């Protein structure tokens, strides 16, 4: 691993390179916060893919791409006179120190859960912090991630089940309500009840220490691998999936499972 001095030198070189690109490259010179935003979102998802795959080389590459966007926004901020990368670092450092009184102050925290609970109280006290408990949840978050984040924040101020096993009564209740809406044939009501059921399942996952986003993505990848096997095997057999019976497809699906896909 590199020394602190080497890390600072390389970060400085990166800043110098971006400064030069901003002046000499037509594409870099015309970028704005608005034009970069879609690319930033894409880069974060690419990093998420690399993290999910535990691909160390790709994680390193994608971290670099995300870092480029961070310093690019800071460069734009310096050009408008609003802030620069030093201000970004100072703001983050001050926030980390303020939010970790158990490290930099006199507060105590026995475990990660207690740290998270303290955070919500600290955020409400910050000068520019969230005015409400759920105020810091970004509106644009994907629904599954947002549901988990909402529930975590509610838990951190004590709004949670007394015993995690109690959540299954809620899951069963919401399942019954979905079935009732199916019988009624009310499409809008069915959508609402499916949302309640999914929210309850996210709650269950959280209570049992499972990240629902990671769990669902794991199943997505598993399904893709097995479906791709089904598709390739049907072609190898000279068959069209549209003309195959469900029993035939299930047999190949079971082969995929036996192969560890």
- Give the list of residues 6+ apart from residue 142 with CB closer than 8 angstroms, or none: 213
DSSP label at residue 186: -
pLDDT at site 117: 66
Please state, for a pLDDT cut of 90, what percent of the chain lies above it.
77
Spell out the residues 6+ positions from residue 236 whose beta carbon is closer than 8 angstroms to its own: none
Tell me whether domains 4-83 and 133-213 share a fold.
yes
Fold of 133-213: Helix Hairpins (1.10.287)
Return the domain boundaries, the chain: 4-83, 133-213, 217-258
Q: Structure tokens of 13? A: 């070189």
d(CA 103, CA 82): 31
Task: Judge: domain 4-83, CATH 3.30.1370.110.
Answer: no
pTM greater than 0.75:
no
Predicted pLDDT at 172: 97
- What confidence tens digit (pLDDT) does each residue in 43-73 have? 999 999 999 889 999 999 999 999 999 999 9
State the pLDDT at residue 124: 63
Residue 88: strand, helix, or coil: helix
């Amino acid at each position: 691993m590199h020394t602190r001095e080497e890390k600072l030198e390389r970060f400085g070189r990166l800043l110098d390179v971006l400064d030069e690109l901003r002046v000499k490259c037509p594409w870099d010179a015309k970028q704005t916060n608005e034009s970069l935003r879609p690319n930033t979102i894409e880069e974060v998802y690419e990093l998420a893919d690399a993290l999910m795959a535990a691909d160390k080389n790709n994680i390193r590459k994608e971290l670099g791409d995300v870092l480029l966007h961070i310093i690019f926004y800071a460069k734009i901020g310096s050009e408008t006179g609003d802030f620069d990368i030093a201000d970004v670092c100072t703001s983050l450092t001050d926030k980390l120190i303020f939010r970790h009184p158990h490290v930099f102050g006199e507060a105590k925290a026995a475990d990660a859960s207690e740290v998270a609970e303290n955070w919500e109280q600290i955020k409400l006290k910050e000068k520019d912090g969230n005015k409400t408990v759920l105020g810091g949840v970004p509106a644009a978050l994907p629904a599954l991630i947002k549901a988990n984040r909402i529930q975590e924040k509610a838990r951190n101020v004590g709004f949670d089940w007394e015993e995690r096993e109690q959540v299954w009564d809620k899951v069963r209740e919401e399942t019954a309500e979905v079935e009732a809406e199916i019988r009624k044939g009310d499409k809008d009501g069915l959508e609402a009840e499916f949302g309640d059921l999914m929210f309850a399942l996210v709650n269950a996952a959280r209570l049992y220490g499972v990240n629902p986003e990671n769990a669902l993505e794991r199943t997505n990848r598993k399904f893709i691998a097995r479906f791709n096997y089904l598709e390739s095997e049907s072609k190898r057999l000279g068959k069209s999936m549209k003309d195959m019976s469900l029993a035939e497809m299930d047999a190949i699906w079971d082969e995929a499972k036996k192969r560890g896909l």
